[in-house]
Structure 1
Amino acid sequence: MEYPIIYQIEDIYYPALAVIGVPVNLLAIVILSRGKCGLSKCISRYLLGMAAADLLVVITDLILTRVGLSYFPNSFLFITPVCRPIMFLGSAATVVSVWLTVAFTFDRFVAICCENLKRKYCTEKTAAVVIGTVSVLGCLESVPWYFIYQPYLIIDNVPRYCVFKLNFRTSPVWAAYEFVHLILTPCVPFFLILLLNVLTVRRILAASRVRRGLRGRSNEENQKDPEMENRNKSIILLFSISGSFILLWVTQVANNIYRRISDTRYYNPYTDPRYITEATSRMLQILSSCTNTCIYVLTQAKFREELKNAVKYPLNLIVKFVKS
């Protein structure tokens, strides 16, 4: 039987995305950690945490699992004691990445819509506590995935590959855990981000009308409003990140809801279009771990400047070395 076209696409797509995903997230971590992007320390903390989680997703879920399975199926990566922690780390990194996006969206919602809470909540210390809490809870929530897998084959007394245990599909305990896991990631975060953005937009529109009215009475329509300009930059960054998340995860969310309603568990990858939908949603989900740096470049002038400096630095070193 002919090799499915979706497999052929994955064999090209995942390695290409890995080549892009690692350097862009590393660059984001280096640039944001320098604190010269013109962003508040609170925002920088969240973006730095998201970049670190995304990098871990790229390494564990993309490189060690997807690319490894396609190009190195017989490597040590797929010895059961090795692939089990990889599966756990991939799940934990995805959960943390998703919920840090929620935390960032909520932080910006508080900053824009809750003036009384803003000074206490939107601080670097609070951001650090939230990031740490989300990371710990995300890891704890994913611990059961480590125990779900068993060896597929035993070759020369070495257990190889990770497949679901036989009772995973029949045990009510595992069924309940899988259901809760799918609800917590990504269904609840998806709808929370959507709701917070709707509330934020309503607040922005109302505040803009009031502010334009006040400035109109003062005959200052032609003057620049520094406060509104700073707020607009923050809003553009927020909507770009959360909008990208919603677009890239909507297929995954819809597919998960459909699978639960229809109780669909197995697909024929050669003939069933539902498998193509699932594979596509998976590719879009992993793509979401590589897009934030592009968003920073498009929306933040100082980030672009720092990126140019980062690219020029090794080139300048090479030029100096050649001259010397």
Structure 2
Amino acid sequence: MGLTDNETTLVMLDSSNFSSENVNTTEINLNDSPPNVTASFNFALKCLDFFNFYYLAIIIIFGMVGNTLNFLVFTRTHLKLRSSSYYLAALALADLGFLLTLLVVWLNHVGVDLFNRQGFCQALVYTSSVCSCLSVWLTVAFTIERLIAVQYPLQRPYMCTVRRAKIIISVLTLTTLTCHVYSLFTAGITDAGPDGKSICDLLPAYYRFMHVVNLLDTVLTLVIPFILIVVMNTLIAKNLIVFSRTFNRKKSRSNNSSAQHIQVS
């Protein structure tokens, strides 16, 4: 998450452009290198291109199937009566949206170039930004609910309701959609690709602006969520350990009392 959400998608694009078809250009720059170095570099490029093609395909296919099944399970079964199921369903939907944008980028490998077209470029960058940010904060919201359930088990039915979960998810979604509107203007079609090829990239006029956005994005989608999740999971683990020790003590006392009663009898 060190990159901004826009840059995450753009890096995926760059990896698809930086394939074996660009090896010839690279070889020109490596003419002065030893033959074994050039051969090793070309082999590494081919391995990277092969890995990028099949590895991404596997992730996209299994990820889309898994998230679709998760969404259906949490919204079409008895689990929909639990507030936590709505967080997990929304998280599955956000991850599914990001995988769809990744699929469009991957289609460049098979000659279907939708990402590098005006309109598609901005829409896909915006969608990937929203989905990735929303996924992070839905995880935080779900972790908060788990902490409430462990820390305050008696108040949980009143604090963690389905209605409240829907409100929180709606607020997070609307906030994320609003905060990433800039993605529709900072990305566009440029001639920054190999051999002057037109690709979807960050527009040069917004380099300085996106540098500031990158810093804010790192804080809001990496640092703060990471700290919150670590702290809350630590508190959850602490409460579970205390509960386990208390339960074991009561169980031990109960067993001792039963044994003494049997001996007296």
Q: Tell me the residue number matched to 2:47.
A: 5
Deviations 1:233-261 (A, max 9, x none): xxxxxxxxxxxxxxxxxxxxxxxxxxxxx
Assess, with a 3 A threshold, how the Cα gap between structure 1 residues 6 and 82 changes in structure 2: closer, same or farther.
same
> Over aligned residue pairs, what C-alpha RMSD do you find?
2.6
Between 182-191 and 45-54, the greater mean CA deviation after superposition: 182-191
Q: 1:138 to 1:122 in 2, by over 3 A?
A: same
Match of 2:73 among 31, 54, 65: 31
Check if 1:53 corresponds to 2:91. no
Equivalent residue for 2:220? 184
Larger radius of gyration: 2
Instruction: Confirm whether residue 68 of structure 1 aligns to residue 107 of structure 2.
Output: yes
Aligned residues: 212
Is the alpha carbon distance of 1:216 and 1:134 closer, same or farther for their aligned partners in structure 2, counting shifts above 3 Å? same
Q: Deviations 1:63-108 (Å, cap 9, x if unpaired)? A: 012x1233336x3432122111111101101111111111111100
* 1: CA distance, partners of 2:126 / 2:234: 34
* Alignment-mate amino acid for residue 144 of structure 1: Y
Structure 1 residues 9 and 185: alpha-carbon distance in aligned structure 2, compared to 1, 3 A threshold: same
Structure 1 segment 105-184 matched on structure 2, within 5 A: 105-115=143-153, 117-153=155-191, 160-169=198-207, 171=208, 173-184=209-220
Instruction: Give the Cα separation in 2 of the matches to 1:24 and 1:142.
Output: 27
Structure 1 residue 203 displacement after superposition: 1.1
CA distance in 1, matches of 2:225, 2:49: 29
Unaligned runs of 5+ in 1: 223-324
Please, which of 69, 85, 102 is the counterpart of residue 140 of structure 2?
102
C-alpha distance after superposition, 1:117-140 (max 9, x if no partner): 523321111111111111111222
1:148 and 1:218 map into 2 onto residues whose CA distance is: 67
User: Residue deviations 1:207-227, cap 9 Å, x none?
Assistant: 2212222233233999xxxxx
Aligned residues of 2:121 and 2:188 also touching (Cα < 8 A):
no
Measure the CA separation in 1 of the matches of 2:212 and 2:257. 58
Letter in 1 for 2:214: E
State the percentage of identical aligned residues.
22
Cα distance in structure 2, aligned partners of 1:220 and 1:21: 52
SS of residue in 2 equivalent to 1:80: coil
